[in-house]
Amino acid sequence: MSPHKSRARDRYEPVDGLLLLDKPAGMTSNQALQRVRRLLAARKAGHTGSLDPAATGMLPLCFGEATKVCGFLLDADKTYRVTARLGEATDTGDATGQLVAERPVQALTAAEWREILAGFVGESRQIPPMYSALKKDGKRLYELARQGQTVERAPRRIRIDAIDLLEAAGKRLVLRVRCSKGTYIRTLVEDIAEAAGTVAHTARLHRESVGDFDAVDMQGMASVEAQAAASRSALRAGLLPADRALSGLAAVTLTAADIAGFRQGRQIELDDGHETGLVRVYGPNAEFVGVGELAGGRALSPRRVFGNAVVI
């Protein structure tokens, strides 16, 4: 390794915690992650649930020990505010693409729109768009799409919990969508438009929440940059603890002796009265030590083990 690369790596330090970024438009999720990582000088970093470059909103960034919760956040439900442009379809399904079709837009009442939207609530199978990061034979679908290719995509099971009509005026349709992971909002917009007898594309997309996180804890990139310029240590101190990402899980507190066994990967036997499934695990001093899985309400097996501290 060259001295230059060694010095660059030495500038990064162990930093643990979560930051909920309000990702700006025009930036990929990885570009946003790397910018914040440099501001924190964090050695290890990851993000959960990519947003399209044109989209804005909540992008949970995980640093250090908190990267161990990335997989749990990937599975979390999401909420989006989407603005659709009716009557105009693009090849990408959003405003960055080329216009490929136009159709008249019927004048529908709010009640008629709500009836159409209700038909999309529940479980269904959705065909992913060609302009997506999914892979086919080792290549990203969007790479194939840019070459003019269209390949068969297997439908994926998704769940729509609610679609709220916020506005319907002329060619403008604004919705709030609460859905499962893996839901492509651009495809949903196109399917809704088809049910209404027209075409559409996603003009704006903003993710409002991921799992139990909501907008109140989000920070814009300009705010993060200003905090880093004023005090990097204060920015680090303001990171959220990793267990905030797991607040939907039940909590179990272990003795010091059981914590030692848990960290060594041993199964811990608990008293009766616990529910089966994933749980947050804490030590006697309320320190978060990891995620375990309970079988039969008693046998606790380690699934993710954390260090003694979660936030620096």
Catalytic residues: 52
Strand ranges (DSSP E) for 121-258?
A: 122-126, 135-136, 139-140, 156-169, 172-179, 200-210, 219-220, 250-253
Residue type for 157, please? R
- Quick one: how far is CA 201 from the chain centroid? 22
Q: How far apart are CA 3 and CA 134, in angstroms?
A: 38
What sign does the dihedral 30-67-10-233 (CA atoms) show? positive
Question: Furthest-apart CA pair in the chain: how many Å?
Answer: 70
Q: Helix, strand or coil for residue 166?
A: strand
Q: How far apart are CA 149 and CA 142, in angstroms?
A: 9
What sign does the dihedral 14-15-16-22 (CA atoms) show? negative
Which residues make beta-bridge pairs with 301?
293
Helix (H) or strand (E) segment spanning residue 81: strand 78-86
Residue 160 has phi, psi (to 5 degrees) of -105, 115
**Sheet harboring 268-269: ordered strands across?**
250-253, 277-282, 288-295, 299-305, 268-269
Q: How far apart are CA 201 and CA 176, in angstroms?
A: 15
